[in-house]
Amino acid sequence: MSSSSDFQQDRHSFSGSPQKWTDFELPGDTLYYRFTSDMSNTEWGYKFTVTAGHLGRFQTGFEILKQMLSEERVIPHLPLAKIWEWQVGVACRQTGHQRLKAIHLLLKIVQCSTQGDCDLTLLKPLWQLFTHMENNSCHETAKPGILLPLHRALAELFFVTENRVTELGSLQEYLLALNTEDHIHRCTAQ
């Protein structure tokens, strides 16, 4: 298999049992392969799966989107609503540093968006994560006053978002959309 028709670039050759095959990546959007049998066996051949893209490409996408969101002249041409929706989904699914980076991009989008660009109510799962972390940080006595990076990132995201919706005049709707009715009743009772 190769990324060129002459089989000179990014060449990967395999022979024998499936245990000798390993996963590999090829650059570009085309795969060339050649199957040759030596007739020493009566098996049907080999089966392989080709997958476009790679899950390890998160960093590349992050860097591209971060750069695009940093260019003021580019922002008006971006489909911010769709990017916002994707990024919220990424922030909900990812963990560790990738989640932090996704939250960083959400923060940049909130800061450069105008009214109606982003459905801020999509933040509800992240708000639930944040409130859970807030409630648990009160019970942790090991290092009071020290927040985990994710906790800090979510705190900043929600602080900036709250300021943004206040500027836009939709704070009440935003807060009602993020919280459950049960939570609102508990807060009112307090």
pLDDT of residue 17: 74
pLDDT of residue 53: 63
- Residues of the chain with pLDDT below 70 are 52-57, 115, 137-147
pLDDT of residue 105: 95
| CA-to-CA dists, residue 89 to 10, 65, 82, 125, 160, angstroms | 34, 15, 11, 9, 19
**Nearest-angstrom CA–CA distance, 164 and 17:** 59
Q: Is the pTM of this model over 0.75?
A: no
**Nearest-angstrom CA–CA distance, 68 and 75:** 7
